[in-house]
Amino acid sequence: MDPRFSRAYGALAGLALGDALGMPTQEMSPAQIRAVYGRITGLVDGDASQPYAPGMPAGSVTDDTEQALLVASLLVRGRGTSSGRVALDAGEFAHALLDWEDSMIERGSLDLLGPSTKAALERVRAGEDPLSVGGAGTTNGAAMRVTPIGIAVSTADPEAFADAVWSSCQVTHATRQGFQSAALVAAAVSMGIDWDTPSASDITALLWKALTYVDSLPERGAWTPDPDVVAATRRAMQLVANPASSSLECLVEQVGTSVASAQAIPMAFALLARDPSPRALLDAANIGGDTDTIGAIAGAILGAALGVEVLPADSLSMIEEVSHLGLSSVAGDLLALRDQALVSSQEESPTSASPAADPDTDTSPEESAPASSPTSPAGRVVLMGQILVDLAVRGEALPSPGGDVWAIDEGMHVGGGFNALVAARRMGAEAVSLSPIGDGPYSSLIQAALTREGIADLGPRIAGIDNGFCIAFTDRTGERTFISTKGAETMATASAWADFVRTMHPGDVLYIDGYLMDHPTNREAAEAALRALPEGVRVLLDVSPVIGIPSALPSDGVIVSMNHREAQEIAQQSGDSSVRDRCREPREAARAMLSLLGRPVLVRAGAEGAYIGRPAQPETNTTADEVTAIPTPRVEAIDTNGAGDAHSGVLAVSLAQGIPLERALLLANCAGALSTTVVGPASCPTREEIEAAADALETRADGE
């Protein structure tokens, strides 16, 4: 069977299977399910006590599958396409749903429209505009029927994808939660269709990828006080990543199983991440609440990722025999629609040749590009360092010895070099982590966080030990104090990084977290990697408070970054009183570090900005070392934890994207400053926010 067809068919078949398994238990409590059925282990008849499907035969589907197939039929008939893009006509969709409910009533079914859909469509039945009635829908109705959109539309074009999803939910669920829930399911299905080498072990990565994708889409829909669905799903996935909170009982308690989109979709994702197999659909059928919808969503994603072959053939045969769905032909039609839409989008946006340089000017197209726009294929940001977990606490002040204080706020976050990689991702760069990962709950949290952010996790695995943690205390002034433990992240083997570093290419930036130099095995591995570094790969070394500079650091293509306090510490270690005296002020500290290290040095000075010291360059007629001041925005800092990481991450990605150095430094300063205005370590702002702040500083400088 063709793999794409298998996955398209699998999405619909998984939807129907999860739906049919959950049919007999929908809206029952776990205790009621146990009392009536024991445990659901396959397709069974609905009990007479079933509130919505009393006496329905095993293999019967519910509104989840029927409405999904209704969406599919509108798309396939061509009524749902316009200008080559997949989209549902609001009026036609609204009346098709009303006709469907009328037919269900005629059949004597109790399984009718859900609360949000019912409320919106009754207003349509009364004569209101279908586009004006869905502003209160926050239940899971849009998500349960969106699978055909995921099959018919690729995520390659975010705008077309978002438009298609929005067309399927705006009549009944025109809220932020309605759009998020439908987009999450459709994105996971669509990405599964395009997955080249699917395996069960990779489904968690697929789910995190869908989360990241939807989180990047512009917001749509009306505001409601209900929880953010993306955030709720992320929390559910984090629960599963921790063995201590991954049980079904814990998920039911912490996530919920109601018709609310902020419960049903997170639960479906969590069940799949917990057990990426058809067993997840059985779990859905037994947890109580909206079992049919949770199972249908989980089944659609599972089938889209792994293909119809992963689903039990005997169960699918029974469903087809009882419910007469014809899923195979529907899958083929939706795939054809997907291919048609892709062809149309390519025709609308043909690849254009690069513009030729104007013969009347000396400026090439590349030179005329905006300062913050990369003009050649961007390189990667590669972390050679350590990632651990931050146990973050905020309070008024550290307690005196033997004292006691109450925390204002607390949280558990993945930190260390991870923060810099998140900053790189916020800037649109490809990021790679080479940090060692161990075994244990902290290691699981780190792996999940890397996947969530779309960071390639290529670090060595250290068996038998967990990653370490850091207690990070932030006082009322925003200043932070750290106490760290040592775990797997400190135990890289001597050859851990050299093999990967050899594969790096010019344009890549190797970001070295200076903390690693405090651990002998990491230092040895770092120096071996630096000796293997290909020519043309730039290096950004953040010396960190531990102060460590590898002996194998190249002489060219390197920037050594430090804050003013670290510069003073290096001067103290040098034993040279003249160097120590010159480091009292940050500008002169940059000059002193430049002369001491013989490489470009950046000294960060908080609200004062930063100073970059660069050696003389005869080829550019620069005959003396120079120090340039780089301004920074004025902000009210509330949490400085992670500011240096944001600075380094944005600087690294700016260098990888070919942005001129002084502009890159300005962007980095803005990122570091803005990150202090919010609580949390991975607090780097968006690229748009960073560039706006940098533009404002440049405008101010021009005016002066």
pLDDT tens track for 409-421? 777 889 888 989 9
- Please, which pLDDT band fits residue 365 given cuts at 50, 70 and 90? very low
Distance CA 630, CA 75 (A): 55
pLDDT at 257 over 90: yes
Once rounded to an integer, what is the mean pLDDT over residues 651-675? 92
> β-strands 387-394, 409-416: how paired?
antiparallel
pLDDT, position 398: 82
pLDDT, position 342: 66
Which pair of structure tokens corresponds to residue 114? 């859900």
In DSSP terms, which residues pair with 602 in a beta bridge?
561, 612
Once rounded to an integer, what is the mean pLDDT over residues 340-356? 51
Q: What is the phi-psi region of residue 507: left when phi exceeds 0, alpha when psi lies from -120 to 50, beta otherwise?
A: left
- Please, which pLDDT band fits residue 643 given cuts at 50, 70 and 90? confident
- Please, which pLDDT band fits residue 518 given cuts at 50, 70 and 90? confident
Cα angle, residue 386 at apex, residues 384 and 389 outer, rounded to 5° = 150
pLDDT, position 74: 92
Once rounded to an integer, what is the mean pLDDT over residues 151-164? 93
pLDDT, position 347: 52
Q: What is the DSSP letter of 106?
A: H
Expressed in percent and rounded to 5, the helix, strand and coil fractions of the chain are 50, 10, 40
pLDDT, position 519: 83
Which pair of structure tokens corresponds to residue 484? 């760290």
Given a contact cutoff of 8 angstroms between Cβ atoms, the answer to whether 468 and 487 are in contact is: yes
State pTM to two decimals. 0.57
Task: Name the residue among 520, 450, 458, 451 with its Cα closest to residue 490.
Answer: 520
Mean pLDDT (the chain) is 86
pLDDT, position 470: 86
pLDDT tens track for 280-289? 999 999 999 9
pLDDT, position 555: 80
CA dihedral 687, 692, 694, 696 (to 10 degrees): 180
Residue with tokens 């005997």: 314
Distance CA 565, CA 23 (A): 64
pLDDT, position 112: 64
Distance CA 209, CA 204 (A): 9
pLDDT at 355 over 90: no
CA 527 to mean position of chain CA atoms: 32
pLDDT, position 223: 92
Once rounded to an integer, what is the mean pLDDT over residues 264-269? 97
pLDDT tens track for 556-589? 899 999 989 999 988 888 878 878 888 989 999 9
Distance CA 654, CA 583 (A): 28
pLDDT, position 45: 97
Highest mean pLDDT among 75-79, 309-313, 575-579: 309-313
Cα angle, residue 13 at apex, residues 52 and 35 outer, rounded to 5° = 35
pLDDT, position 363: 36
Distance CA 368, CA 292 (A): 57
pLDDT tens track for 449-508? 888 888 888 888 888 999 999 888 878 776 778 888 889 998 988 778 888 888 888 889
pLDDT, position 366: 32
Given a contact cutoff of 8 angstroms between Cβ atoms, the answer to whether 23 and 60 are in contact is: yes
- Please, which pLDDT band fits residue 360 given cuts at 50, 70 and 90? very low
% of the chain at pLDDT higher than 70: 89
pLDDT, position 21: 98
Residue 670: count of CB within 10 angstroms of its CB: 28
CA 341 to mean position of chain CA atoms: 26
% of the chain at pLDDT higher than 90: 48
Given a contact cutoff of 8 angstroms between Cβ atoms, the answer to whether 303 and 13 are in contact is: yes
Distance CA 682, CA 426 (A): 10
pLDDT, position 166: 96
Which pair of structure tokens corresponds to residue 455? 């960071």
CA 478 to mean position of chain CA atoms: 27
